[in-house]
Amino acid sequence: MVEIEMVLKVREVGESLDTLFRHEDSLDREAVLIRASFSNVGESLVGGLTLRSKQAAVCAEPSNTSCPSATLMLSTSPSKATVASSHASSVSSQPIPIVLQEKHNPYVTDKGHLVTWLDAMKAQSPPQFHSLHGDTPESYDMEAAEYAAWLKKHPSALSMFEELMVEAKAKQVVVFLDYDGTLSPIVEDPDRAYVSDDMRATVKEVATFFPTAIISGRARPKVYEFVQLAELYYAGSHGMDIMGPADGTNGFRAQGTQVKDKMGHDVVLFQPASDYLPLIDEVCQILSESSKCIRGARIEHNRFCVTIHFRCVKEESWGALAEKVESVLKDYPTLRLTHGRKVLEIRPAIAWDKGKAVDFLLSSLGLADSSKVFPVYIGDDRTDEDAFNVLNGLKHACSILVTSVPKETKASFSLQDPCEVMEFLLYLVRWKKQELEDQNGGSGSFLQLNRKETLKTFAAASFP
């Protein structure tokens, strides 16, 4: 079978590929299209490329060496165009769709308004609550009132704990945790976003009772370096790099390719965007060079994504940084831009995100029956909204946003900061212990028995 490398461009065409080939004016493009046409359009195969219909909404362009090698499946409409990497197909029969997007700049926000990247950078960096309203007693009252109103829609997961656990009773609780801003506090230097020893011990205990995964935008090895708990599942690069213990935890074992980690342990691995690695390396290198002149800018290689930090960049230079990012990204149509807390992020334009990672982990752990499972997801960032969305589609689940200011979110509940996250996790552990005790003939209210003790532990927690 002939291997063809190409960039996939999805577009709506109302005519057959045969017609499209004839009308193409670019020589290069014709060359590829002729190669495609020789295969006879219509459920045929060209070098890993399946053309399912004459009404295909796809045209392929010749690649340069930086393009991901193609293991592509095309279908009849842009919304169905799919790309499947060899890794993905080994554990998932569903090909992963390509994300269709508007031009890189300006782009469409969730609300459908066209905004420039700069506006988006400002929007994701709202001033702290106090500076929004000034520093007068009235402004404090106003903020308190706004927060109280918001809390009615997204109540504290701590105050709702007992009600929540009524729903969780007799179900398998699965815990999904974001890293930055959830397990560790937000700090200026991403390399110093440590998790406290108390938080580590808490997560370790959580994992002894429930299958537990950390789903982060960071490179998976970096999260592992911070957390250092081998019993967890780790999904790095926004879920594009999933690893878990091969022997499973709590009797649950995720599917994936079995490999050995650096220490020689057997682990399972699932990397739906592995074809993109060379491309991401290249973009990371270019951006690291081109952003050198912008003081405070920092480029972080997150394996399957590139993160551009602007937390330490003066606001007057944000536009210049956005321009640098745009000028690089326009040459890479198979990559897309998202954003988080004072970061822009470049990632493969495949429909894979933290929500898909949650879905994947649940089904690969054999926990896809939503009537028997109670997933809990805790996260603080825009990228966690994809996971909240998935949980909202399940029968029983608990989605929690970590924030101390009102924010637009799909999460049902809230916690203020990592300290409260730890308190909630301790509640979970104690609830489980109580449940096991009750099964053995004990009784009593979890909160009555444990609240004082929990708060004591929580107060002793330190976050560097």
Ligand X SMILES: O=P(O)(O)OC[C@H]1O[C@H](O[C@H]2O[C@H](CO)[C@@H](O)[C@H](O)[C@H]2O)[C@H](O)[C@@H](O)[C@@H]1O
Is 216 a binder of ligand X (CB under 6 A)?
yes
Q: Which of 62, 256, 340, 375 binds ligand X (CB under 6 A)?
A: 340
By CB under 6 A, the residues from 347 to 406 that bind ligand X are: 381, 383
Residue 112 Cβ vs ligand X, minimum distance, rounded to whole Å: 25
Which residues, 6+ apart, have CB-to-CB distance to 112 below 8 Å?
none
User: Could you give phi then psi for residue 383, rounded to 5 degrees?
Assistant: -65, -20
Which residues, 6+ apart, have CB-to-CB distance to 26 below 8 Å?
none
Closer CB to ligand X, 47 or 190, in the complex: 190
Is 409 a binder of ligand X (CB under 6 A)?
no
**Residues with catalytic function:** 178
Question: Which stretch in 15-23, 203-211, 302-310, 436-444 sits in contact with ligand X by CB under 6 A?
Answer: 302-310
Q: Which of 105, 307, 338, 403 binds ligand X (CB under 6 A)?
A: 307
How far CA 223 is from CA of 181, 264, 344, in Å, comes to 13, 19, 19
Closest CA to 85 of 68, 60, 99, 61: 68
Is 234 a binder of ligand X (CB under 6 A)?
no
Under rule CB under 6 A, how many of the chain's residues touch ligand X?
A: 24
How far CA 92 is from CA of 270, 272, 361, in Å, comes to 10, 9, 11
Residue 380 Cβ vs ligand X, minimum distance, rounded to whole Å: 6
Closer CB to ligand X, 181 or 211, in the complex: 181
SS3 59: strand
Q: Which of 217, 239, 348, 375 binds ligand X (CB under 6 A)?
A: 217
Is 179 a binder of ligand X (CB under 6 A)?
yes
Is 311 a binder of ligand X (CB under 6 A)?
yes
Closer CB to ligand X, 28 or 188, in the complex: 188
Which residue's CB comes closest to ligand X?
217
Is 417 a binder of ligand X (CB under 6 A)?
no
Q: 366: which 2 tokens?
A: 């054999």
Cα separation, 272 vs 123, whole angstroms: 31
By CB under 6 A, the residues from 53 to 112 that bind ligand X are: none
Q: How far is C-alpha 424 from the geometric centre of its chain's CA atoms? A: 22
Closer CB to ligand X, 105 or 307, in the complex: 307
Question: Which stretch in 31-39, 147-155, 212-220, 407-415 sits in contact with ligand X by CB under 6 A?
Answer: 212-220
Q: 270: which 2 tokens?
A: 């699932």
- What interhelical angle do 277-290 and 318-329 show, nearest 10? 140
Closer CB to ligand X, 217 or 272, in the complex: 217
Cα separation, 397 vs 389, whole angstroms: 11
Is 302 a binder of ligand X (CB under 6 A)?
yes
Is 315 a binder of ligand X (CB under 6 A)?
no
DSSP one-letter string for 339-389: EETTEEEEEESBS--HHHHHHHHHHHTT---TTSEEEEEEE-SGGGHHHHH
SS3 291: coil
Residue 381 Cβ vs ligand X, minimum distance, rounded to whole Å: 5
Is 225 a binder of ligand X (CB under 6 A)?
no
Is 190 a binder of ligand X (CB under 6 A)?
yes
Is 188 a binder of ligand X (CB under 6 A)?
yes
By CB under 6 A, the residues from 422 to 461 that bind ligand X are: none
Is 201 a binder of ligand X (CB under 6 A)?
no
* CA angle 81–82–84, rounded 5-degree value: 165
Please answer whether residues 240 and 203 qualify as being in contact, where contact means their C-beta atoms are separated by less than 8 angstroms: no
Binding residues for ligand X (CB under 6 A): 178-181, 186-188, 190, 193, 216-218, 300, 302, 307, 309, 311, 340-343, 345, 381, 383
